[in-house]
Amino acid sequence: MITNFGSLGVTNGVPAISAPMIAVLCVGALQEKAMRDAGDRLVFRSVLPLTLVFDHRPVDGAYAGRFLEALKDMIEKDTGRVF
Residue 48: how many other CB atoms lie within 10 Å: 19
Contact yes or no for 26/53 (Cβ under 8 A): yes
CA 48 to chain centre: 6
Mean pLDDT of 9-32: 90
Tell which residue, 60, 30, 57, 58, has the closest CA to residue 45.
30
pLDDT (average), residues 66-81? 86
Q: Can you tell me the distance from the alpha carbon of 67 to that of 76, in angstroms, rounded to the nearest whole number?
A: 14
Q: Please pick, among 37, 40, 55, 60, the residue that the annotation labels catalytic.
A: 60
Number of Cα atoms under 13 Å in the Cβ half of residue 63: 10
Is 60 among the residues known to form the active site?
A: yes
Residue 56: active-site member: yes
**What pLDDT was estimated at residue 80?**
67
Q: Which of 37, 40, 55, 56 is catalytic?
A: 56
- State the pLDDT at residue 83: 54
pLDDT-derived band at 15, boundaries 50, 70, 90: confident
For the chain, domain boundaries: 2-79
